């Protein structure tokens, strides 16, 4: 394991460069993975049903 000490700007730049090295389809799936990981992230939003569209990755049982 390697620990790197970077500024926030440098870290963001490196993350962006790594992301842009991905193929477009892989970027899209990385975006979906991020959305899935953040689905249970705490939020101040109370009303979840605002009429927005929903992307279903699988059929709910």
Quick one: pLDDT at residue 26?
95
**Count of CB atoms situated within 10 Å of the CB of 27:** 13
Question: What are the boundaries of each domain within the chain?
Answer: 1-61
User: Is the four-CA dihedral 6, 8, 14, 18 of positive or negative sign?
Assistant: positive
Quick one: pLDDT at residue 4?
85
pLDDT digits (tens, 9 = 90+) for 1-60: 889 899 999 999 999 999 999 999 999 999 999 889 988 888 776 666 667 777 778 776
Quick one: pLDDT at residue 1?
86
Measure the CA–CA gap between 19 and 60, rounded to whole angstroms: 31
């Amino acid at each position: 394991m390697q620990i790197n000490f970077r500024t926030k700007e440098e870290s963001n730049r490196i993350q962006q460069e790594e992301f842009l090295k991905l193929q477009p389809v892989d970027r899209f799936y990385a975006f979906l993975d991020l959305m899935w990981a953040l689905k249970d992230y705490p939020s101040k939003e109370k009303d979840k049903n605002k009429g927005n569209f929903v992307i279903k990755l699988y059929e709910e049982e």
